[in-house]
A and B are shown apart, each in its own frame.
Chain A
Amino acid sequence: QKEVEQDPGPLSVPEGAIVSLNCTYSNSAFQYFMWYRQYSRKGPELLMYTYSSGNKEDGRFTAQVDKSSKYISLFIRDSQPSDSATYLCAMSASGAGSYQLTFGKGTKLSVIP
């Protein structure tokens, strides 16, 4: 069983649509949940960060974590062509030592004008 599963898409939506991106995970030790955006051949850029369960909103972006279901989501409202990128979920455990991130495979999103 893979630790983090993410539908790779591709996902194509019209401009202005609401986008929903999701990941499931199996490791109950994960406490920190992140969404990164990655443009082609570039480094991951942090979008959202959530600790444990709950919702977090930042402008057009909302991150949700449901630890009981081991399910996280990223919603993008009023999507723009500039949102076209690959979206990576990532998560890590807490505790002494390092906080290595475990990534999903990424969902490629295209927002069509």
Chain B
Amino acid sequence: EPEVTQTPSHQVTQMGQEVILRCVPISNHLYFYWYRQILGQKVEFLVSFYNNEISEKSEIFDDQFSVERPDGSNFTLKIRSTKLEDSAMYFCASSEASGGTGNIQYFGAGTRLSVL
């Protein structure tokens, strides 16, 4: 069964360092998303991406964050200068289309980011 894969599963970094989280969405999906979940809190939307550009972003997704689809399969989230409060699980998701059952989003297993 197709799945969203994320690497690494756990990333440890020092405050102020740049990190890149990687995702391979399901191959025929066109919409890509990043969410985060701080321990004990809700899953929160960060950004959506379609046709090589950002469709929508939340207030959390400030200038420290960027997304990219560098090739036909990968989708990345970059945090330029990490802060302690960026420590969270980051989930990548993808969906086939917009509207109807195409809107169903499938999630990867997540990357646990620990900022020290």
- Which A positions have Cβ atoms within 8 angstroms of B? 32, 34, 36, 41-46, 49, 51, 88, 90, 92, 94, 96-106
Also in contact, A103 and B43, with CB within 8 A (given A41-B89, A43-B91, A98-B31): yes
Top 3 nearest A-B pairs by Cβ distance? Answer: A98-B48, A98-B55, A98-B56
Whether the Cβ atoms of B45 and A101 lie closer than 8 Å is: yes
Q: Which residues of B contact A100 (CB under 8 A)?
A: 33, 45, 48, 56, 58
Per the 8 Å Cβ criterion, residues 26-56 of B in contact with A are 31, 33, 35, 41-45, 48, 50, 55-56
Q: Which residues of A contact B42 (CB under 8 A)?
A: 103-106
A94 to B48, CA, bound (A): 14
Mark the stretch among B63-71, B73-81, B97-105 that contacts chain A: B97-105
Whether the Cβ atoms of B103 and A92 lie closer than 8 Å is: yes
A83 to B42, CA, bound (A): 20
Q: Which residues of B contact A36 (CB under 8 A)?
A: 107
Q: List 25 A-B contacts (CB under 8 A).
A: A32-B103, A34-B104, A36-B107, A41-B89, A41-B110, A41-B112, A42-B109, A44-B43, A88-B43, A97-B55, A97-B56, A97-B98, A98-B31, A98-B50, A99-B31, A99-B48, A99-B98, A100-B45, A100-B58, A101-B35, A101-B45, A101-B105, A103-B43, A105-B42, A106-B42
A92 to B104, CA, bound (A): 10
Q: Which residues of A contact B99 (CB under 8 A)?
A: 94, 99
Interface residues on B, range: 20 to 34
- Which B positions have Cβ atoms within 8 angstroms of A? 4, 6, 31, 33, 35, 41-45, 48, 50, 55-56, 58, 89, 91, 93, 95, 98-101, 103-110, 112
A46 touches which one: B48, B91, B104, B108 (CB < 8 A)? B104
Whether the Cβ atoms of A43 and B31 lie closer than 8 Å is: no
Whether the Cβ atoms of B110 and A43 lie closer than 8 Å is: yes
Q: Which of A32, A34, A36, A45 has the most CB of B within 10 A?
A: A32
Nearest-neighbor residue (CB-CB) of B41 within chain A:
A105
Task: For the A-B complex with A94-B99, A100-B45 known, give 4 more contacts whose Cβ atoms are closer than 8 Å.
Answer: A41-B110, A43-B6, A46-B104, A99-B103
